[in-house]
A and B are shown apart, each in its own frame.
Chain A
Amino acid sequence: MNVESSAPTPPLRAAARPVPLFSPGRVATIATGTVTQLVRMKTFYFLLAFALVVVAVGNFNLPATPAKELSMIKKVSFGTMDLFAWLFAIVATALLIPRDQEDRTLYTILSKPVRRVEYLLGKLCGVLFVVGISLVIMYGICATMIGARESLFISAEIEAMTAGGRYSQEEIDEQVGLIRQQGLRPELGFAVLASFLKASVVAAVTIFLSTFASSSLFTIIVSILIFLIGHAHTMASGFWLHSSDNSLFVQMLVKVVKILIPDFQLYSFSEGIVQGEAVALALVGQMGLVTAGYLVVFLLLSLLVFVDKEF
């Protein structure tokens, strides 16, 4: 150890640096650290599995019209993309905080001038950044495959329809239009955004669970359960609340579940987009606001638990 050659700066200084109430810089440092951690954990390997699924689906010749075949490719690809996004959000988030605690890395971080809200926010931002990048890459893979199949179908259709000379230009254009409607359209970006918003809420729920859970496995299982219940509770609560023989206890329970568990069915508008339906921008904006509300609520709940947690 070079104790003679390299002396640190004399410590007798006037006062320590002031600590701001909230530092975006520290949040960014923790978020960047989280991204690096997830990237170096080779989590992006799951994109290879996704690419394989998309390529396999894209090359599967279905006994259907080109438009239906394109629709099928989109449904499977976007469904897989959505599944990978929320599953990745849960697993990645559930691994981060408990691991920091088990490895005592959390001690060294929180013994620096870092506020707990900055730590939580940094972790969440890091996970969301990786989920966002993953979705963009997955969308790129999907778009390449759908675009290629669309061009192939259109040229084959035009060739087939013009060959016999039996179809007018209007009929050919109509057929091509049908294929294009199921092809690569800018609106599909909103479906990707819906997956991202849903994954963000799932990540926030998982962060909340991991602030008090004792293991990553518990966090993952409960998060998946909440996600599944979140897809069904609107329907279930409607059924129970309108049923005549429900007790006060059941009614209360259903109300509590409805308040505590996010309604993931709200994001199902993306299915319509994938099927070629038009989307209202107002609906997308509304989803953005609902997501922001969920993120704030779950971050506040996480903070409530985490701020007084003793390590």
Chain B
Amino acid sequence: MSLPAVEVKNLTKVFTLGLKKEYVVAIDNLSFEVKAGEVYGLIGPNGSGKSTTMKVVLGLMAPSKGEAKVFGLDSGDIRARNEIGFLPENPYFYKHLSGAETLRFYGKLCGMRGRELENRVTELLKLVDLEGAANRRLGVYSKGMLQRIGLAQSLVQNPRLVILDEPTAGVDPIGSRQIRDLILHLRDQGYTVFLCSHLLEQVQEVCDRVGILFQGRMRREGRLEELISIEDQTTLTLEGASPELLASLHELVASDPDARLVAEGHPRTSLEHLFIQIAERNRQASK
């Protein structure tokens, strides 16, 4: 059995505030695992401890108690960082560098050089659709472009684990969809993705498993379908059903003493889907 990508055991993180020696428990005895190859979402409100958990996993913070491991290596071990690609929330890279220079900079930090690095930069710029803006300085990039170059830098050394902190924060729906597609693509490629978000719809669309964090404690954890399915209810979505067929269905339901019709109506698309459809249509028309 392969090692878990992330293994957090009894993790506690306590912060001391000021000189008054006031203590704040940011994470309280937290344990969870992210299996290799899955997309794991850690969700929770602001201040629930998501970012602190990520920082401990990244080795940017030391645990007060407990441990965090990345592919079996202690998160404080520098070798663990070779396995991780990280995209922080609202990333700000060096504005004076162009997109390609940014990727080269981070690639070199990971020990890449020469042809290997150049090929990787070209490959990643293509992946995140920024080939046209490769030589433009990041100071003129839009928020969505910054997020995409951030994703590219997180993948530069081809890590096994990608950690994304609010990957679509502040990005418009189209950019958000692109990032979501990329996350799914990464999963298909065998990457492990560990993301933190409070955009629940997005987490629902991409995650295999989720953990719900509240006040530093894990409240629920499990496979997404198991967590969100209502076991004793069933949804049927019919297309082209005649009034007669619907009437028959009503009669059938009424004849069963245990069954009850809870809701009926026309399914609605989400505003996001509608927006993307319109944008896509306009883009096709303008071509």
Contact = CB atoms under 8 A, between A and B. Distances in A.
Contact of B158 (A1, A13, A33, A115): A13
A142 to B, nearest CB: 30
A87 B159 CA distance: 42
Interface in A163-211: none
Contacts of B179: 1
B109 A109 contact: yes
A1 B148 contact: yes
A11 B82 CA distance: 12
A11 B181 contact: no
Interface centre among A1, A5, A33, A115 (most CB of B within 10 A): A1
Interface stretch (A35-43, A52-60, A248-256): A35-43
B127 A113 contact: no
Interface in B80-110: 81-84, 86, 88, 90-94, 96-97, 101, 105-106, 108-110
Interface stretch (A21-29, A146-154, A236-244, A268-276): A21-29
A111 interface: yes
A132 to B, nearest CB: 21
A9 interface: yes
Interface string B261-281: 000000000000000000000
B222 interface: no
Nearest to A4: B185
Given A2-B127, A36-B96, A115 B109 contact: no
A226 B97 CA distance: 34
Contacts of A1: 127-129, 148, 178-179, 181-182
Which of the four size classes fits the interface of chain A? 35 or more
Which of the four size classes fits the interface of chain B? 35 or more
Nearest to B57: A111
A105 interface: yes
A29 B124 CA distance: 20
A259 interface: no
A206 B181 CA distance: 45
Given A1-B181, A11-B191, A104 B123 contact: no
B111 interface: yes
B245 to A, nearest CB: 40
Contacts of A115: 78
Contact of A111 (B86, B93, B160): B86
A6 B94 CA distance: 26
Interface centre among B126, B148, B186, B189 (most CB of A within 10 A): B189
Given A16-B79, A17-B82, A113-B111, 13 more contacts: A1-B129, A2-B127, A2-B128, A3-B127, A6-B126, A10-B189, A11-B158, A12-B160, A16-B82, A16-B159, A19-B78, A108-B88, A108-B93
17 contacts: A1-B129, A6-B127, A12-B190, A19-B78, A19-B82, A29-B108, A30-B109, A33-B94, A41-B96, A107-B58, A107-B86, A107-B88, A112-B110, A113-B81, A113-B82, A308-B62, A310-B61
Interface of A: 1-3, 5-13, 16-19, 23, 25-26, 29-30, 33, 36-37, 40-41, 103-105, 107-115, 308, 310-311
Interface of B: 55, 58-62, 78-79, 81-84, 86, 88, 90-94, 96-97, 101, 105-106, 108-111, 113, 123-124, 126-129, 148, 150, 153-155, 157-160, 163, 178-179, 181-182, 185-186, 189-191
